[in-house]
Amino acid sequence: MADMAVQSDVMEAAGPYDRAKALSAFRLGDVTFYWLTRVCAVSVLLILGGIIISLIIGAWPAMMEYGFAFLWTQRWAPSADPPVLGALGPIYGTLVTSFIAMLIAIPVGLGIAIFLTELCPQWLRRPIGIAIELLAGIPSIIYGMWGFFVLGPFLAYTFQPFMIGLFDGIPVLSSIFGGPPSYLSLFNAALILAIMVLPFITAISVDVFKTVPPVLKEAAYGVGCTTWEVVRNVVIPYTRVGVIGGVMLALGRALGETMAVTFIIGNSFRLSASIFGPGTTISAAIASEFAESDGLHQSALILLGLLLFVLTFFVLAAARLMLMRLEKKAGN
């Protein structure tokens, strides 16, 4: 009775419960949260649109001067009168280095992820996982310096002469792996890119591999499947959407990487049939020349940036369409 009396006194002191006022307060908080999230979402679109508009405005003089011929013109001579500027060399270098990097990083990254989730002893998983996280956290300029001072000499004096001699006289391959050896080449830059994107592929693949229900793998092992058969027929099909997403994220990083590539690619606008020849990428060309550019030269560099933006957009859009088709197929 005493407790009930105390509660009654407290309620009388607090006053009558105003349900309409409480609902109004809740409604105000909900509306505020709604508009706050909407502003955040719309701001992303505004920023993206602002970037595109600023790139188009900056690149407009070069677009008017060179037109579509800018895409397949190889010569890059900003000091000529009039300047002769073409994007074929940077576009070629960007595509080649990214392709080689993904060709190396995808099987290695998936192999590490499979080892960590299926084969690795429990005591070894943590050290390897920490090492992968550290690779992702190293600044790109450190990769570039390491590639120039350590990886470059090893490739020039050991790996490249071996590959040149191995494929000498073989049609097509002798051109792709032709000499002379060099510290600075498309292959060196691609190898650095492969190391840089490896943690993205590995980390995402490990996370999605862990989502496979244990009962599926246990059932496969129960009918006599080997580890390779479980991975190929159960793990990969179940997680293919996530794996492809990780690969595309890594590809986006490879397409846009700047400082590490600038250190070790050679910054040559000429096309080379050999992957051991020097080259350049869109981002490396912009980084190495933008500070000293003006006029039409600067506009052409901004146009290169616009091309990189469009290229990355189409790559990610194609990846998204592929994922949607895979999800739809899995649903059916």
Residues 36, 123: one domain?
no
Same domain, 55 and 78: no
> What would the two tokens of residue 86 be?
């073409």
Same domain for 75 and 62: no
120-129 pLDDT tens trace:
888 888 888 8
Contact between 276 and 241 under an 8 Å Cβ cutoff? The reply is: no
Query: Radius of gyration over alpha carbons of the chain, in Å?
Result: 28
Task: State how many domains the chain has.
Answer: 2
On the question of pLDDT at 171 being above 80, the answer is yes
- pLDDT, mean of residues 57-72: 89
Question: Where is the domain boundary, 66, 81, 104?
Answer: 66
Residues 175 and 320 in one domain: yes
* Residue 186 in tokens: 């498309």
Stretch 200-210: mean pLDDT: 89
Q: How confident is the model at residue 10 (pLDDT cuts 50, 70, 90)?
A: very low
For residue 83, whether the previous peptide bond is cis, meaning omega lies within 30 degrees of 0, is no
Q: Are the CB atoms for 62 and 85 separated by under 8 Å?
A: yes
142 and 38 together in one domain: no
**CATH code (residue 281):** 1.10.3720.10
The label of the residue with tokens 């006289």 reads 169
- Domain shared by 37 and 94, yes or no: no
Domain span including residue 135: 69-331
- Exposed / middle / buried, residue 280 (Cβ in 10 Å: 0-12, 13-18, 19+): buried
> 118 and 255, same structural domain?
yes
Here the tokens at position 165 are: 């001699």
Res 11 pLDDT > 70: no
Least confident of 13-22, 259-268, 322-331: 13-22
**How high does pLDDT run on average in the chain?**
84
73 with 62, same domain: the answer is no
Rounded alpha-carbon distances, angstroms, from residue 169 to 172, 173, 272, 300, 331: 9, 8, 18, 40, 51
Pair (85, 211) in one structural domain: yes
pLDDT, tens only, 69-112 = 888 888 888 887 788 888 899 999 999 999 999 999 999 999 99
Tell whether 39 and 183 lie within a shared domain. no
CA distances from 154 to 33, 104, 141, 147, 207 (A): 57, 18, 19, 10, 34
Shared domain for 149 and 238, answered yes or no, is: yes
Q: Are 186 and 86 in the same domain?
A: yes
Q: How confident is the model at residue 330 (pLDDT cuts 50, 70, 90)?
A: low
Q: Which of 120, 312, 109, 94 is nearest to 195 (CA)?
A: 109
Mean pLDDT of 225-245: 86
